[in-house]
Amino acid sequence: MGEQFIGDRSYPSDAARKRAVRALLARYEVNQVVDQEDDDLLLRDLLDRHPKAAEKIGPGVDHFRVVRTPRGPHKGPEVVRSDGTRIDFSYQKCLDSPSHRRRVLDSMRTEVVPQRDAYYEARKMSGTLVSDLTDTPLTPKETHVAYFRGTRFDDIGTAFAETAGGWEAFELSATTVSGLATFADRDLAARWHAYHREHATLALRGGVGEPAPLTRLTPARASRPAGHRGPGSRAHLTREPGPRPTTVARPSALKSCMKCTVLS
């Protein structure tokens, strides 16, 4: 099946992707709030894949808890909405049988692979192949291009879909491999490429287990707008400072918030 994703996290297989979610759940006790930002963001990206995501999200996600599942002595994620209501969801459903919306988002990711590759090559050529999360050097094998410095990829794709008339406006090429379909309408594809180039803020990170030492969520949590229906973004989270890792010197031009427009 090839490379699999949850948000912009890359996994070598579907089994590895499911192991990552189970490992997250194992880190928390039953009824414990998910207070690590990386874990919170993963669950937001995971929930966004659910076939009934809009229904589960409701007025907006405030935070998550780990709870017992209705069937058996297993742990599962629970959404605590911005209005205080709660609802659990199956992570298995988030990873199985993608909806048309999910297939379009996966195809959007495939369409902009050249932009992501160009960003990686520019960083490699400039000698700044370091994690933008921890400032630690990266090897080519462990480097991933990610979106944590700005708007999440799924939110960029959703905003573009609205400009195109909704998800049904996208007809995809036939493929038997998840995530490898492309747009049948190449004019629409060109519009998407330009939109992504304008709105995406790219960055580098290490493997999916790389820690984010500066991003532990506070118990108070930042409130989100009542009308916010998306899973949320880093900009909405309250953070406590942690120990600063040793930094690696980088050219100021690349240390600033980098847009993929510099690659065009």
Q: Are residues 8 and 114 in the same domain?
A: no
Q: Are residues 75 and 107 in the same domain?
A: no
CA-CA distances (angstroms) from residue 199 to 40, 161, 259?
23, 14, 8
C-alpha span between 36 and 38 (Å, rounded)? 6
Strand partners, 67: 76
Q: Are residues 71 and 201 in the same domain?
A: no
Q: Are residues 149 and 226 in the same domain?
A: yes
| pTM, two decimal places | 0.62
C-alpha span between 159 and 164 (Å, rounded)? 9
Residue 22 CB burial class (10 angstroms; 0-12, 13-18, ≥19): exposed
From 78, 95, 112, the end of a domain falls on 95
User: Which CATH number is 8's domain given?
Assistant: 3.10.450.40
C-alpha span between 88 and 169 (Å, rounded)? 31
**Residue 71 belongs to what domain range?**
4-95
Per-residue pLDDT tens digits of the chain, which is 264 residues long: 567 888 878 888 889 999 999 999 999 999 999 999 889 989 998 998 888 888 999 999 999 999 998 877 789 999 999 999 999 999 999 988 678 888 899 899 999 999 999 999 999 999 999 999 889 999 988 898 999 889 989 899 999 999 999 999 999 987 645 557 899 999 999 999 999 999 999 999 886 555 544 344 544 443 343 333 344 433 334 334 333 333 333 333 333 333 333 332
Q: Are residues 19 and 135 in the same domain?
A: no
Element spanning 217, H or E: strand 216-217
Counting every residue written for the chain, the total comes to: 264
Residue 213: CB partners within 8 Å, gap ≥ 6? 134, 242, 243, 244, 245
Residues above pLDDT 70, as percent of the chain: 75
